[in-house]
Structure 1
Amino acid sequence: MTNKIFIVVLIGLYLSTSHYSQTPPYYHYTSSNGLASSTVFHMIQDKAGYIWFGTLNGLSRFDGTRFITYRTKDGLNSNSITQILEGEDNQLYLSNFERGINLLSNGKIENLIENIDGKYHTASYMIDYKQKIYAYAPLLSFIVFDKNKFKKDSAYIITSNPILVNKLVVLPKGNLAALTHTGLYDFIDDQFYKISIKGLNDINATSYAKDNDGSYLLGSIGAIYRIKDNTLVEKYNIELSKDIKIENVFSDSKGNIWFSTPGKGFYVIYKGSDEIINLGTKLKLDITHITNFLEDREGNIWITTFGKGVYCLNNLYLKNYTEYDGLINNNINTITKDNSGRIIIGTFKGINILEKNSLHKLSGKLDKELIGDINSIIVDKNNVYVAWSANPLYSASIKYKELQFNITGKRSLLKLSSGDFVYGGWGNDIRISKNFELTSQNPVYYLSDQMQSNRIYNLKEDSKKNLWIASALGLIKLTNLYEKDAAWSWDKTLYSNNQILNSRINYIHEDSKNIVWFAGSKGVASYDLKSERIDNYINVNGFDLSSATSISSDSKNRIWIGTLSGLYFMEGNNIKYLNSKTGLPADEILSLFY
């Protein structure tokens, strides 16, 4: 069964520090999806935008939809591709672990080097520096050749003894350097010269990442160091276990630090924080060896693994919470926020409160478990009013810190600007009371001449004090609401000639331009409070907006639409579609909140 989700629309945030507990949205690719092997050593994104993967069983190119794979039958020296470099003319240099180097150019693969003087040399890594390719393995020798004047007999070998080199890197100032067991060394004219870093003693430099501010990161044993202008400026202590090695370190475009340790998944330190977040365990990679990180041009983070394929953490501005993160239930019909910024979530099995990065369950002296739809939650200072539709006769009151939760057994609920409460029922009816304590003395108002089965899904008072009622049988507008002698009267408008508004309406929202929006089973409609113009949106630029469950607008007045087939947002004539293939954990959107 497809899990239903809720979305808290937080535009413009990217892996913000207030969302540590979340499971990131991701794609997962393995050999079952066409990847050459689920063991992947390296990846790059080329100038054309393709993602290339060097794997245990060949080279794969991914175009966003499918994989194309190259193996020995296509000209590779071996199927074990450990590193990929892109040249100036879109050609790819491919290291073959123990079988030399291939060149892929214009769709053809040629053998650049397979052996030197009849000897095979291990080449786990390559780096391109000043027209020379350096191919090497940690602690071993280097194969060096000029890529512009290349001849097989011009390649030569450099031994690094007694220097034990882990990796070669290009530092921010453009100098080629070696990460070694005793710190950093400049590598000039095939010779090593020690680099002195103020504030940092000799370390085993195991990994490197360049940052956007001119600094760089060095991974070591039990720590990550930030260096700028040959000075140590920051140290991150990684005390996950004794003598833990930072195998890979990476800094994304937002300044977040990603790192992995041998066979222990991956972690993130978000910019502005020193807290270490174990994201690997969220993807069940906590005992997996991570081989590489990459950020593509769309801001997605790619992670390659030994044996478990490739993960693409995509649409990272979307923050997902599921039962795995502490939700009581994934079926959520309503979301709101209190005055202190806590998010209150109505699920099918009760109420969650998101506070200080943690999800809490509302519990206490409830004589019933709140199993069933919670359709309305209204916050008024320290009072929280809840409509729970499972039991029409139910009422309860419970405290959460300073918040007083008041629960009633109604289908929907609204507090008017006058302070009166409106309750929506199941029988084409509403009730209105001065206080939240609904009694049998409150008269029932039927929305047609007689009682009939017609659920009231949502109630909304607009800026002109009109009362809009979303029902199973369509939209109802009540104007000129007036109370006299404990009885209410109004003028009623139906929309029987509008195909969207004469069908089930699920949710109502007024945007900042005083346009009221309606999400319904047959699409979306809008009502301009100034001109009284109605516009229908059934199919926009080829996107089907039927089965709309919810609607909201953001600070830029973009319209967000939740449907049973995904999430849309409209900005002018443009529309974008998000679903489980683009980062959402499921396609069915039941509620929205901004």
Structure 2
Amino acid sequence: MNYKKEILFDEAKKTHRSLILRIYQTIFFLGKWGIVFLLSYVDVTSAQEYAFRNYSIVQGLSESVVNTLIQDEKGYIWMGTGFGLNRFDGHNFTIYLQEDGLKSTQINILYLSVDDKIWIGTSQGLHWYSPTKDSIHYVSEVPAYAIISLFEDSQNRLWLGTEEHGIYLYSPKSTKPLTHLNPSTLTFNGPVRKIIETDTSYLLISRTGIYELGPKIFSDSTSFDMSVISEETRYRDAILDTNNNVVWIGSRDGLYSYKEGQFTFHKLNTSNLASRIQSLALDQDGTLWMGTEDGLLHQREDGLIRYGSQDGMSNTLINNLYFDKEGILWIGTYGGGANVFLGEYVVNYDLSNTLSNNLVTGFIEQENGDLWIGSYGGGVQILSKEYSDLITSSNVPQELGPFKWPQLEGLADQRVYHLSEDPYGTTWIGMRDALGYVKNNRVETIAELYFPYRKIRHIRWSNSSTMWVSTYDHGLIKVDYTDLYNPETWTINQYSTQIPSWPSNTILKSIEDKKGTIWVATYSGVVEMKRDGRFRTWGLAEGIPNISVMGVIEDSQGSIWAHTFGGLARISDNELMAITEKDGLPSRVCYFLYEDPQKSNLLWIGTNGGLIQYNLDGNTFKAITQEEGLISDEMNLGAFYEDSQGQYWLGTVEGLSKFNPKKYRGNEKPPRIHIEEVLLSGFNVDPLDTKKLQMDYNQNFFEVGFIGLNYTAPDQLYYRYRLLGLEEQWQQTKNTTLRYPSLSSGDYIFQVQAVNSNGLISEELAQIQFKVNPPYYQSLWFWIGILILIGWVLYLIRRTTKITKLVDMERMRVRIASDLHDDVGASLTEIALQSDFLLADTVQQELKESLSQIGRQCRKIVGSLDDIVWSIDARNDSFGDLTDRIQDYALAILDTTQFDIEYAFDSLPMDKKIPVEIRENTYLIIKEALNNVVKYSNGDRVSIGLRLQDNILSTVVSDNGSNVNNSKKTGHGLRNMKMRAQRMNGMLKIQNNKDFSVSLQVPLNN
């Protein structure tokens, strides 16, 4: 027991002493017949509660009168009430009323057809629900009569049983969808409660009788054979047991069966009200359940079991029974809403019915089968085997009120911690302020003189001469004796903090393993005591999850297990392994630990989160909680016992649960999972409409709502989810709504699965795809435009830079040309003029020749310099400047009296710029060609032409002279012309056939 419970127990002493009902103060034990005699006056049905769960208007149900229940293909539970249709997902109700399409809110019957439609019979006709559109549709072809039964036969015809107008057959796809079986052809006119199809005929269960229609196959015809099976009483419901080929029929008088033409009545040993059967159902094992006007009946092999309000039902007037796909029984009641019966695997007891105190701390089964139950403040109560057997049968009286199990008299202290049996079969009782035993029907208390220790938490025997007592404040007490029942023969040794290195005085349990080593659970770790007296402590340094150890056990493999406030610890081969919440343990505080004797790979753990089943093979955990029927999730220290019938008795802070692991099926069906709502930036959209599942970049908020369907333990469901496109790893949550704000652009897939308390994952994967459109500045066309713009800007920059450089270069060329012309040209001209002046004077003959040569050379240099200046000067870059220069030179060098000069420049764009290199080299080639004409031609006509076409500049210089001195026209000048043509990537051709011509073709770059 932890500190919290120690304080709680102290307070319980004051609170519960006044509440303890001592029914039998004058007797200690009752014999077999005495117990039976007393039970004849006891309403034992008031002494227990089963695993019932109730849903009513408090939980959201539209009305507490539930007429009909079904489960659809998706797993939702539907309830038809007197005011509306309800869909239930385990947590919330969705209600459908007239504004949702119902003509009447009085729902009499629900039926699920093979095409997953839900057919709804109301007081004003027939409706159907579309699961894909979540909408209700009214069937106008069917009269607005009160429909109280529905059935789809093997021909997919829907049978409609009405309150006052017989039966209709409805075939929506037929040319004649509605066929009325004329009531005048039948001998009944009462309400048709049920239609059943057998191999050869149809059975109609009416309030006034049971009728058989045959032959079975008929279509639109109303002609058929009809026979009366029974008209003895009022019949309410029927069900076909296909395994045994029998029809069970519930009536006002009780239970009937119809098999192979035999109609049989089965008498039920119940009260009159409990014999009025309203509804029937078959469970997964094929056993029959009956809903009556006074509770629930279960026909088992060992007898008939009745459940009523005293067993946990909210109302005993039952309208409808239905088993869902998990095997859970749903019970529609008249005024109590819907009850869920999880199964007969757990029975609960508390202060309101049988217990003298809810804080149950220990158990011990006697040789005669009686179970002794210890509680803190309630002493020891005795549950006799006769009574225990009797309360599971229907042969019990119901005249008297609640019955408290008799208490053990003579205890020195009612605050019981522990019950144990010694090697001689005697029961020992560890109490807060005493140690005692029961022998010869008397309680004997060990005097304080012989045993002064208190708060006895555990008692065990290592052999026939040694007893070990664990105490809360005084350490571990070893008692060696020669006579166990004579404390004067006792020799006591105390293991406490007075011994060096002993860790704690708070000892909760000790055991001795197969090797003879003693293991002690303390509040400062686990103490390992060897036979030679040496001991060591397993604490935090050794890896134990929490030093407050509440117990130790040895498993069948020889491993030692410790259960602590922080989880479990396994010690094997001198190594410790911790099992905590990080490893999947549902609750860290472990009050008791038990190895399943039938399955050594299973451990049962009592925690603050219910009873945990730990599977060692798969390292999986399964939690059985109050949601699945336990009286409380918070167990008590060491309060666990397996009786001779294999049932587990669990002591909790709120009472006692008897748990039968053989009947517990567990949460064995994987849950279903559905996406129920999708919001894109706050706007609700249909998850199936893919066109709408797109978001703009500035409206990128995604919200999704989903639900897992599991009715065994809906609160223990959790979900694994991920958003592909954002994350690849699965995440876990218990929330059913997730939000993703500010998603970046891209394609996403949201995936989610549900996981139940058994760890089973939903078989289907609920997912939804959506897209966040990129902003315009992230689109491909935008970036193409940006690249084009950047390219254009770079082009403009480059062009501007180039133009700037060209302008600067042109300015420099003009400056250089001007400087050459003004400075160098002027100087050379001045030299030439000075030589002329000197020649005009009287000078020696030798000087005249030199002066004349100087003058000629200067003028020659000035001429060459004039060509250089012309080519450099940027003001001469146009075609017009080139042609002017050519004409000037031609007129200067050609004798007009000898040559007739023709120019062909008309097609040139005179104002267009021409590259300097092309302008200069073209001019020099033409100049060289004209020089050759002057030197070698004997003709009288010279033609000079320039033409620009397709960005190709064509130049032709020709004359009509003969090919005289041809060998002299292949010298240095011709090589210069070819060199200049190559500089311009041009093509130079010289022809000397009839006429002499020089042609040049040069490509002009932009």
Kept in 2, the 8 Å contact 1:475–1:501? The answer is no
In 2, the alpha carbon distance for the partners of 1:514 and 1:172 equals: 59
Query: 2: CA distance between counterparts of 1:172 and 1:459?
Result: 65
Correspondence 1:279 to 2:279:
no
Partner of 2:511: 460
1:159 aligns with 2:191: no
Aligned match of 1:205: 235
Distance verdict in 2 for CA 1:502–1:285, change over 3 Å: closer
- Name which of 314, 326, 348 aligns with 1:298: 326
Using the size of structure 1 for normalisation, the TM-score is 0.83
Alignment correspondent of 1:446:
495
CA distance, structure 1, for counterparts of residue 368 and residue 437 of structure 2:
23
In 2, Cα distance between the equivalents of 1:540 and 1:68?
A: 37
The residue type paired with residue 427 of structure 1 is H
C-alpha distance in 2 between matches for 1:398 and 1:545: 40
Q: Deviation of residue 122 (structure 1)?
A: 0.9
Contact 1:428/1:455 (8 A) holds in 2 = yes
Which one-letter code corresponds to 1:225 in the other structure? Y
* CA deviation map 1:175-209 (0-9, x unaligned): 4201245653213455562265xxx9955433223
Select the residue among 505, 514, 523 that pairs with 2:567.
523
What is the SS of the residue equivalent to 1:480?
coil
Q: Which residue of 1 aligns with 2:554?
A: 510
Q: Any conservation in 2 of the 1:215–1:228 contact (CA below 8 Å)?
A: yes
1:383·1:406 contact (CA, 8 Å) conserved in 2? no
Cα distance in structure 2, aligned partners of 1:280 and 1:150: 51
Corresponding residue for residue 977 of structure 2: none
Equivalent runs, 1:1-12 vs 2, <5 Å: none
Q: 1:194 aligns with which of 216, 219, 227?
A: 227
Partner of 1:10 in structure 2? none
Deviations 1:56-100 (A, max 9, x none): 232222222322222222222222222111122222111122243
Q: 1:581 aligns with which of 615, 627, 640?
A: 627
Distance, in Å, in 2 between the alignment partners of 1:94 and 1:578 is: 36
1:222 to 250, 253, 265: 253
1:169 aligns with 2:195: yes
- Give a deviation string over 1:340-376, Cα, whole Å, max 9, x none: 54433222212234424539845454154x4213224
Q: Give secondary structure in 1 for the equivalent of 2:521.
A: strand
Structure 2: which 5+ residue stretches go unaligned? 10-44, 392-403, 447-453, 643-1006
CA distance in 2 between partners of 1:399 and 1:418 (Å): 20
Match of 1:7 in 2: none
Check whether the contact 2:193–2:236 (CA below 8 A) recurs between aligned residues.
Answer: yes
TM-score (norm 2): 0.51
Gaps of 5+ in 1: 5-18, 482-489
Structure 1 pair 461/151, CA: closer, same or farther in 2 (3 Å)? farther
The structure with more strand, counted as a fraction of residues: 1
Q: Look up the SS of the partner of 2:99 in the other structure.
A: helix
Question: Which range moved further: 443-452 or 66-75?
Answer: 443-452
Q: Distance in 1 between matches of 2:494 and 2:361?
A: 25
**Secondary structure, counterpart of 1:237 in structure 2:** coil
Match of 1:131 among 139, 152, 156: 156
Number of the residue aligned with 1:556: 599
Query: For residues 87 and 320 of structure 2, what CA distance do their matches in structure 1 show?
Result: 16
Between the aligned partners of 1:569 and 1:237, the Cα distance in structure 2 is 39
Partner residue in 2 for 1:14: none
Q: Which residue, 433, 449, 459 being the options, matches 1:391?
A: 433
Give the equivalent residue in structure 2 for 1:8. none
Structure 1 395/341 Cα, relative in aligned 2: closer, same or farther at 3 Å? closer
What percentage of aligned pairs have identical amino acids? 19
**Matched letter for residue 268 of structure 2:** N
Task: Map 1:72-471 onto structure 2 (within 5 A).
Answer: 72-114=98-140, 120-129=144-153, 130-138=155-163, 140-149=165-174, 154=178, 156=180, 158-159=182-183, 161-163=186-188, 164-170=190-196, 173=199, 175-180=201-206, 183-188=209-214, 189=218, 191=224, 193-194=226-227, 202-211=232-241, 212-231=243-262, 235-241=266-272, 244-262=275-293, 264=294, 266-285=295-314, 288-314=316-342, 316-348=344-376, 349-354=378-383, 355-358=385-388, 361=405, 363=407, 365-366=409-410, 368=412, 370-378=413-421, 380=423, 382-388=425-431, 390-392=432-434, 394-395=435-436, 397=438, 410-425=456-471, 426-434=473-481, 435-437=483-485, 439=487, 442-450=491-499, 454-471=505-522
CA distance 1:142–1:70, shift in 2 (3 Å): same
Residue 73 of structure 1 aligns to a residue whose secondary structure is helix
Structure 2 counterparts to residues 52-91 of structure 1, below 5 A: 52-91=78-117
Q: 1:260 to 1:412 in 2, by over 3 A?
A: same
Give the residue type in structure 1 aligned to 2:162: A
* Residues 258/537 of structure 1: CA separation in 2 closer, same or farther (3 Å cut): same
Deviation at 1:510, TM superposition (A): 2.4
Corresponding residue number in structure 2 for 1:485: none
Cα pair 2:613 2:623 within 8 Å, conserved: yes
**Mapping of 1:483-494 within 5 angstroms?**
490-494=533-537
Answer yes or no: is the 8 Å Cα contact 2:422–2:460 preserved in 1: no
Offset at residue 458 of structure 1 (A)? 1.6
Given that 2:147 and 2:160 are in contact with CA atoms closer than 8 Å, whether structure 1 keeps it comes out as yes
CA-CA distance at 1:540 after TM superposition: 5.0
2:578 aligned residue: 536
Q: How much has 1:383 moved relative to structure 2?
A: 1.9
Tell me how far apart the structure 2 counterparts of residues 270 and 232 of structure 1 sit (CA, whole Å). Answer: 19
The code of the aligned residue for 1:312 comes to: V
- What's the CA shift for 1:586? 1.4
DSSP 3-state at the match of 2:535: strand
Q: Distance in 1 between matches of 2:158 and 2:632?
A: 45
Q: Distance in 2 between matches of 1:514 and 1:234?
A: 58
Output the amino acid matched with 1:579: T
Asked whether the equivalents of residues 503 and 525 of structure 2 are also in contact (C-alpha less than 8 Å), the reply is no
Name 1:484's counterpart in structure 2: none
Which residue of structure 2 lines up, in the alignment, with residue 9 of structure 1? none
Change (3 A) 1:550 1:68: same
Distance 1:561 1:274, change over 3 A: closer
Using the alignment, how far apart are the partners of 2:349 and 2:198 within structure 1? 38
Q: CA deviation at 1:414?
A: 0.7
Q: Tell me the SS of whatever aligns to 2:415.
A: coil
- Inter-partner Cα distance in structure 2 for 1:342 and 1:243: 31
Structure 2 CA distance for aligned equivalents of residues 581 and 249 of structure 1: 26
Q: Which residue of 2 aligns with 1:11?
A: none
The alignment partner of 1:304 has SS state of strand
The Cα shift of 1:502 comes to: 5.7
Structure 1, 569-578 or 236-245: larger mean CA deviation:
236-245
How has the CA–CA distance of structure 1 residues 325 and 30 changed in structure 2, closer, same or farther, with 3 Å as cutoff? Answer: same
The one-character-per-residue Cα deviations of 1:370-403 (angstroms, maximum 9, x if unpaired) are: 4213224236464222212x213x5353556xxx
User: In the aligned structure 2, how far is the partner of 1:456 from the partner of 1:137?
Assistant: 72
